[in-house]
Amino acid sequence: MNKESTRDRILQKGGDLVHAKGFNNTGIQEILDAAGVPKGSFYFYFKNKQDFGLQLVDHRVDMFGELVRSHLRDESLSPLARFRRLFNWFKQFYRDHGYSLGCPIGNLAQEMSDLCDTFRARLERAMTGLTTAFKTILDLAVEQGQLAPDTDTEDLAAFITMAWEGALLSMKLEKGPGPLDRFERMIFDKLLADRGAERQ
C-alpha cells in the first residue's frame, strides 16, 4: 500500500468502527486490527487519537458531502424533487444497514461536543456545511417558484438539518423506517408544501 492508501484505509476502517461503536468506545488497537496496519503506521499519520478523530470528521464530510452535492446538482429534476430524492437515497442506505449507525457527524456531535471544544468546532463546521448545501437547493426552489419568494431558506435549511438528525436518532432507536418516512411527510408534504413532484 502506498502512503495515501494507508491513511485512507485507517480512516475508512477506523471510521466505520467509530460510526458503529462511538469514539470513546473504540480503541486504537481495534482500529489497527480493522485496518490491518501496525501501530507505527497510525502514529505516522495521526498525532494521537484526537487527531485521528478530527481528520475523521473531514474524511466523512468529504465522503458524504460529495454524495449530497451530486444529488443536488442533477438538473433533470426540479430542486425540491432532487432534495427529496437525496433523502430517499439515505433511506435506502439505512435500510441496507438495518436502520443502525445513524449520522457519523451527528453521533460524534452528541458524544464529543461537551468533552472537547476543538472537536466540537470541527463538527459544527461540518454540520454548517450540510445546512449550506440544503440552503442552496432551497434558494434554487425559490428562484424556480417552488417555494414562496419570502421563504427564510436559511432558517428552513437549519431546521431540516436538525429534524433529519432527530429522525436518524429515532430510526436507530426504533430500528425501522418509520421516523425517516415521518421526516419526509412532515418536511416535504407539510413544511415545504412540496410542488416538486408535479414538476419532475
**Residues near a copy of itself (CB under 8 A):** 20-22, 24-25, 100-102, 106-107, 109-111, 113-115, 120, 123-124, 127, 155-156, 158-159, 161-167, 169-170, 172-175, 178-179, 182-183, 185-186, 190-191
CB of 75 vs a copy of itself, minimal distance in Å: 29
Q: Which is nearer to a copy of itself, 8 or 58 (CB)?
A: 58
Q: How far is the CB of 112 from a copy of itself (least distance, A)?
A: 9
Give the nearer residue to a copy of itself in terms of CB position, either 75 or 114.
114
Query: Distances in Å between the alpha carbon of 185 and those of 17, 26, 95, 194?
Result: 32, 36, 18, 10
Nearer to a copy of itself, 37 or 90 (CB): 90
Minimum CB distance to a copy of itself, residue 175 (Å): 7
Q: Which is nearer to a copy of itself, 5 or 132 (CB)?
A: 132
Task: Cell numbers for 172, please give them.
Answer: 436507530
At its nearest, how many Å lie between a copy of itself and the CB of residue 198?
22
Choose between 70 and 100: whose C-beta lies nearer to a copy of itself. Answer: 100
Q: Which three cell numbers stand for residue 139?
A: 434558494
Q: How far is the CB of 107 from a copy of itself (least distance, A)?
A: 6
